[in-house]
Amino acid sequence: MMVMQSVSATGASAPRAPWHLWVVGVVALLWNASGAYTIMASQAGRFPNQSAVELAYYAAQPTWFAIAVDIALVTGLAASVALLLRNQAAAWLFAISLVAMVSTNAYDLAAGTSLVIGNTGAAVATGIIALLGILELAYATAMKKRGVLR
């Protein structure tokens, strides 16, 4: 099978971006943007229809914890943009996002303050979010290894 190559500004050839890169990149961008909006609006108490439990949860978060959560959100968003730009930083940014997400969730569980405790819906949503973070990282890493990301 012949692989189409393109020449970068440095003169090095790189494989052309497969069609799925654009699909994954756009879906990841929309997913991460909606997640960032939802959580940041919730942290500010401005997300519509928040329950009293959710408002109290976000209001009680220490500043360092909210910043760590926001790092997970912003690096996921930046990783999506980097993926669309075919920049190899996408893999590192997805990794940072995943580590920040797992770390904050682990802390929240250990502290007994996580919304997933006793809430099956929140537990399922958190599991799906973590799984998608792993898949985003795996995809970006695979594209980096194939030379699609430069």
Instruction: Provide block-wise average pLDDT over 10 residues at a time, the chain (150 residues).
Output: 49 80 98 97 94 94 97 98 98 98 97 95 96 98 96
Q: What pLDDT does residue 4 have?
A: 47
DSSP state of 7: E
Helix (H) or strand (E) holding 34: helix 19-43
Q: What are phi and psi of 15, to 5 degrees?
A: -60, 150
Q: What are phi and psi of 85, to 5 degrees?
A: -85, 0
Q: How is the chain split into domains, by residue range?
A: 18-145
| Cα gap 97→94, rounded to integer Å | 5
Q: Model pTM?
A: 0.87
Q: What pLDDT does residue 15 have?
A: 80
Q: What tens digit of pLDDT does each residue of 126-137 get?
A: 999 999 999 999
